Amino acid sequence: MAEWRLPMPKLKEILRLYHEGGMSRRAI
């Protein structure tokens, strides 16, 4: 995912929660 390349710390946190919560959540 290219989203990880973004310098935004919030984006990284969201992606981290996304991975931890599972890809079936999709509540972003």
pTM over 0.75, yes/no: no
Pair 15, 4: CB distance under 8 Å: yes
The residues near 12 (Cβ < 8 Å, ≥ 6 apart) are: 4, 6
pLDDT in tens, 1-13: 555 666 677 888 8
pLDDT tens readout for residues 19-28: 887 665 555 5
Q: Are 24 and 16 in contact (CB under 8 A)?
A: no
What is the rounded distance in angstroms from the CA atom of residue 25 to the CA atom of residue 28? 8
Give the per-residue pLDDT at 27.
Answer: 52
Q: Ramachandran region of residue 3, left (φ > 0), alpha (ψ -120 to 50) or beta?
A: alpha
The residue type found at 15 is: L
